[in-house]
Amino acid sequence: MKQTILFSLLCLFSFISFGQPPNGTLNTPQSTNQMGVMENGTNMSKGKLEVNANFESNSLLKQDSSYFNVNQKMEERAISEQDDTKDLRETDKTVQVFSAFSLVRQNAKSNKFQRTPLSAEQSEMDAKVKQLELISPNSWEYQLAYYLAGNYNLDRSPALEKAYQMNPENLEVQKQYVSLTYMTGDTVSAQNALSLMSVNDLISKEVASYTSDVLTSCSMNSTLITHGFEDTYGALFNQFSHQLRSDVKVISLDFLQSPQYRQALEGKGYVLPKSTKIDVGYLSQFCYLNADKELFLSVTIPRSYLEPLSKKLFPVGVTFEYTDKPAEDLPIRQENLWFEQLNKYGLTEGEERSKFAMNYIPLLLYLEQKYIQEGNEVLLLQIRESMDYLLGKKAIKKSGN
């Protein structure tokens, strides 16, 4: 097998966070004098008409209870509208600040070289959390942001639990709640939350099917290292909801930011690097220190993480196994995976092409080299037709071809 060609191709095809005044007594004036006659609250004096504006007419109006009721209601309505306007302004501001926080966090998570946020990104997230605390400390947005800014620090878990109670339908809240329950070992809550995410299509059928192939690619009692949301949560969904390959230990590079998660892994026999920054170097050290754990790396891990390890990575299904040399039974295992064991959802005629299609290319390249060496023209043709289909060159006719 031409390993040099394989190693370069492995990295080439690795692709792949809403008071009333009191009523008075009516006094009817009855006095008269020489200067004029008082009639109906009007003074007839020296032929002049004088209206006592502050006497009976106004008194009658102001002592009428209906006037006070209407006036009070108008005042209350004005106050209510002011409160509503204030609440609306606060809500708008909360949404704006939370959106800004989410954008910073998303930029941090899109870094292809490390999972730990950069210092500037962490400072900006912390500043947005402070703003949310001042604007709306009782909002679910503040509770969630406070937890997220801790990068899976479980000391902040009460805030996430409060956010989940307040807004369990929010997709980001659901995602983080799964991470919390998984890292704390609450398997029942993790399974329920993952099922809810599947119902909400946050874990799609495509993701679930692909990650079932990822788990199937791993050896018994091995360790699967994942990187992002889809490979991590999809694998956990298959394990918790479908009881598929529960023997495989899933370790998320994202979750490794949590000091409690790292401590739990050490308790299970894993040796962890001293650094607390989860980056490309951390993965290399982790693999070196735990080479005896039968490590399998998800193909969806960014190429920047895989390149330093390329000499010890061998394609097995839709994973890379970290080992000094491939197992003797790898050729037959690769055949069994492709032709019999993998479901290959979205890779056959009549199905919408899966966005994970290219992740099967390293496996097919391996089989192509195998059949070239063996001179097996029939299987070589089938593999090449499958590769053409995955590369978008032609439609495939039969499942498994």
Tell me what pLDDT residue 51 has.
Answer: 40
Give kind and range of the element (H or E) at residue 93: helix 65-109
64 or 258, which is more confident: 258
Distance CA 48, CA 32 (A): 16
Tell me what pLDDT residue 82 has.
Answer: 54
128 or 397, which is more confident: 128
40 or 337, which is more confident: 337
pLDDT > 50? residue 55: no
DSSP letter string over 356-392?
TGGGGHHHHHHHHHHHHHHT-HHHHHHHHHHHHHHTT
Read off the pLDDT of residues 349-376 as tens digits, 9 standing for 90 and up: 667 788 999 999 999 999 999 999 999 9
Instruction: Find tokens 């119902």 and name the residue.
Output: 199
Read off the pLDDT of residues 302-349 as tens digits, 9 standing for 90 and up: 999 999 999 999 999 999 999 999 989 999 999 999 999 999 998 876
Distance CA 285, CA 222 (A): 18
Tell me what pLDDT residue 22 has.
Answer: 38
Record the tokens describing residue 400, joined without a space: 């498994």
Read off the pLDDT of residues 147-177 as tens digits, 9 standing for 90 and up: 999 999 999 999 999 999 999 989 899 999 9
pLDDT > 50? residue 251: yes
Tell me what pLDDT residue 90 has.
Answer: 59
pLDDT > 90? residue 264: yes
**How would residue 38 be classed by pLDDT, with cut points 50, 70 and 90?**
very low
Return the bridge partners of 295, or none: 223, 322
318 or 18, which is more confident: 318
Read off the pLDDT of residues 219-230 as tens digits, 9 standing for 90 and up: 999 999 999 899
The CA-CA-CA angle for residues 233, 235, 237, to 5°, reads 65
Read off the pLDDT of residues 273-284 as tens digits, 9 standing for 90 and up: 999 999 999 999
Report the SS3 class of residue 296: strand
**Percent of the chain predicted with pLDDT > 70:** 75
- Burial of 100 by CB count in 10 Å (0-12 exposed, 13-18 middle, 19+ buried)? middle
Give kind and range of the element (H or E) at residue 214: helix 205-217
Tell me what pLDDT residue 392 has.
Answer: 78
Distance CA 300, CA 356 (A): 9
DSSP letter string over 148-188?
HTTTS-GGGHHHHHHHHHH-TT-HHHHHHHHHHHHHTT-HH
Distance CA 93, CA 76 (A): 25
Beta strand segments in 2-76, E: 38-39, 42-45, 48-51
Edge to edge, what strands does the sheet with 48-51 contain? Answer: 38-39, 42-45, 48-51
